[in-house]
């Protein structure tokens, strides 16, 4: 957001605050450099500049993170409740660490043998009275279980809405854990997204990890990075900003009514990497932008292209478009497959259909691919940048859509008129930025001169897209870099 827009917002806020009782009686007069004056009714200013910050109570609410626990400070708000354990065993669950890794851990092996037990790690209570959707996920590792086929019997997840301290006196419902580890190592895997929506409407919702063992069979279970999401009020624009990913430099300012989704790669108990995140417009059924970064972890190239197109499991089912091709268009990546080669899981996530946009083949494999290759080369060059922040997308507002495609489900998908990239690099604390705005059309050929001709400043890109890029920069740095458009700084 440039300084003029900020000034108008400030003036508008003052006028609206002082004249809220009779907005129609007030105008804002702006004097231009040539001496002419523009008169804008205060009510119009409110509509133009504040509408995106107002809460639409009739709009659908989407999920946001309401709880996260990695047990770095102990067991957090979890309670450990033993239903049964052998004499001499002082505990089953405990909060512990190994090196820099932190987690809760259950085990029933002591005195050189297994012991029968049942013990629960119960979460804090969550008020989901105003939610209609909620999901939980976590990372876990299982080891030392000689019969790995029994892990789904011994390590399970349960939910209660009436727990007050006694396991036996509460009503518990088992929920399926989609993904289990192999059971033979301390390698963590993500559980997958677990639907708790049936428990919404209650003010005492708790989930619990139940650990069991037998006298001749037990294993160890480690759990960490427990994340709960819900569509409680405020999530459309307020509380969603508490999610860690939204504070990253590459993430644009979120719009009210949009859905924020982040995909992570879990490479270790304390080593989760953001693959990419995006803002999804439910009305247009298309991402508004996709953001990610190249840094010391993500610039690596260990794997090749996956090609396993799939619906995004973190999108509501009603917004999933299916994996079939776009008629007459490529399934064009926004975050490219070649942008994410540091792990197989990260590359798979780039093939989610939420990361696809209908692109003309000539455009997708031509000028767009050429620009992507340049960005990938710069992003993987540690001498160019310590970190390269990237935001990519297609224009989906009505005025900047070429046409619409219809899926088998009946969903309507826009074909963007333009595709863009916003780039921000930092090297030894020095920032620079540039943007590119490419018209989506068939081209006889594409060259570096065509890409140079598409270069614009971040300020210009904001004006054309209505998106506030890099709002998490300090204001003075943001003001400076968003005016830049020096293609020579970017290898052109």
> How many angstroms separate the CA atoms of 303 and 338, rounded?
9
> How many angstroms separate the CA atoms of 491 and 384, rounded?
10
Domain check: are 426 and 323 in the same one?
yes
Q: For residue 85, what are its two tokens? A: 């354990």
Domain check: are 322 and 431 in the same one?
yes
Say which DSSP state 477 is in: H
The owner of tokens 């354990």 is 85
Nearest to 272 by CA among 225, 333, 305: 225
The predicted pLDDT at position 165 comes to 94
Domain check: are 264 and 384 in the same one?
yes
Domain check: are 36 and 175 in the same one?
no
Residue 249 within a domain = yes
Residue that terminates a domain, selected from 204, 228, 252: 228
Domain that holds residue 107: 67-228
By 3-state DSSP, what share of the chain in percent is helix, strand and coil, each rounded to 5?
A: 25, 35, 40
Residue 235 within a domain = no
Domain check: are 446 and 309 in the same one?
yes
Residue 292 within a domain = yes
Residue 29 within a domain = yes
The predicted pLDDT at position 99 comes to 78
Domain check: are 299 and 250 in the same one?
yes
The predicted pLDDT at position 356 comes to 98
Nearest to 446 by CA among 355, 387, 374, 347: 374
The predicted pLDDT at position 234 comes to 45
Please report which residue ranges of 350-395 form alpha helices under DSSP H.
Answer: 361-364, 367-379
State the total domains in the chain: 3
CATH code of the domain covering residue 377 = 3.40.570.10
Domain check: are 262 and 156 in the same one?
no
Question: Which residues on adjacent β-strands are paired with residue 443?
Answer: none
Residue 347 within a domain = yes
Say how many residues make up the chain.
492
Residue 238 within a domain = no
Residue that terminates a domain, selected from 172, 200, 228: 228
Domain check: are 247 and 131 in the same one?
no
The DSSP-derived string for 207-244 is: EEEEEEEBTTB--EEEEEEEEEEE--TTTTTTGGGGSG
The predicted pLDDT at position 53 comes to 32
> How many angstroms separate the CA atoms of 277 and 25, rounded?
44
Residue 250 within a domain = yes
Domain check: are 391 and 344 in the same one?
yes
Residue 74 within a domain = yes
Domain check: are 33 and 93 in the same one?
no
Q: Write out the chain's pLDDT in tens, 492 residues.
A: 444 444 443 443 333 333 333 334 444 444 444 445 554 443 433 333 333 333 334 444 556 667 888 898 899 899 999 999 888 788 899 999 987 789 999 999 887 888 999 999 999 999 999 888 888 988 899 998 888 889 999 999 999 999 999 999 999 999 999 889 888 888 888 788 899 999 999 999 999 999 999 988 999 999 998 988 887 764 333 233 334 577 788 999 988 778 888 998 875 444 578 999 999 999 999 999 999 999 988 999 999 999 999 999 888 888 999 999 999 999 999 999 999 999 999 999 999 999 999 999 999 999 999 999 999 999 999 999 999 999 999 999 999 999 999 998 899 999 999 999 999 999 988 999 999 999 999 987 778 999 999 999 999 999 999 999 999 898 899 999 999 999 999 999
Domain check: are 333 and 453 in the same one?
yes
Domain check: are 207 and 279 in the same one?
no
Residue that terminates a domain, selected from 167, 201, 228: 228
């Amino acid at each position: 957001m440039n300084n003029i827009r900020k000034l108008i917002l400030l003036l508008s806020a003052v006028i609206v605050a002082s004249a809220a009782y009779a907005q129609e009686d007030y105008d804002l007069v702006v004097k231009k450099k040539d001496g002419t004056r523009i008169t804008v009714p205060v009510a119009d200013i409110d509509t133009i500049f504040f509408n995106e910050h107002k809460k639409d109570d009739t709009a659908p609410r989407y999920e946001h993170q309401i709880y996260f626990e990695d047990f770095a400070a102990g067991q957090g708000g979890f309670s450990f409740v033993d239903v049964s354990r052998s004499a001499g065993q002082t505990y089953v669950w405990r909060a512990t660490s190994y090196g820099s890794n932190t987690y809760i851990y259950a085990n029933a092996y002591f005195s050189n043998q297994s012991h029968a037990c049942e013990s629960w790690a119960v979460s804090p209570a969550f008020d989901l009275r105003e939610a209609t959707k909620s999901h939980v996920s976590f990372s876990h590792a299982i080891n030392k279980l000689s019969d790995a086929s029994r892990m789904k019997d011994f390590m399970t997840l349960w939910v209660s809405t009436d727990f007050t301290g006694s396991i036996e006196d509460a009503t518990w419902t088992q929920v399926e854990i989609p993904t289990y580890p192999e059971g033979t190592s301390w390698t963590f895997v993500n559980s997958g997204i677990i639907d708790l929506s049936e428990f919404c409407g209650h003010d005492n919702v708790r989930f619990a990890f139940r650990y069991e063992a037998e006298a001749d069979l037990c294993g160890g279970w480690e759990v960490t990075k427990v994340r709960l999401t819900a569509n409680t009020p405020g999530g459309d624009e307020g509380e969603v900003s508490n999610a860690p990913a939204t504070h990253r430099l590459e993430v644009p300012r979120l719009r009210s009514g949009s859905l924020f989704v982040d995909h992570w790669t879990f490479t270790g108990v304390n080593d989760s990497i953001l693959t990419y995140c995006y803002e999804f417009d439910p009305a247009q059924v298309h991402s508004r932008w996709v953001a990610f970064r190249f840094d010391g972890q993500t610039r690596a190239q260990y794997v090749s292209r996956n090609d396993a197109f799939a619906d995004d499991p973190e999108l509501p089912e009603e917004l999933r478009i299916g994996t079939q091709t776009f008629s007459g268009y490529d399934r064009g990546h926004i975050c490219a497959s070649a942008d994410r080669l540091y792990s197989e899981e990260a590359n798979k996530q780039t093939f989610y259909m939420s990361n696809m946009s209908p692109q003309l083949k000539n455009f997708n494999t031509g000028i767009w691919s050429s620009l992507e290759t340049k960005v990938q080369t710069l992003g993987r060059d540690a001498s160019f940048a310590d970190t390269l922040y990237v935001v990519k997308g297609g224009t989906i507002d009505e005025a900047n859509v070429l046409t619409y495609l219809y899926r088998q489900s009946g969903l309507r998908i826009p074909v963007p008129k333009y595709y863009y990239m916003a780039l921000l690099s930092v090297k030894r604390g020095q920032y620079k930025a540039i943007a590119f705005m490419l018209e989506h059309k068939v081209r006889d050929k594409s060259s570096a001169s065509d890409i140079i001709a598409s270069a614009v400043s971040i300020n210009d890109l904001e004006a054309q897209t209505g998106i506030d890029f890099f709002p998490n920069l300090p204001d003075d740095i943001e003001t400076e870099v968003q005016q830049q458009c020096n293609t020579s700084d970017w290898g052109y």
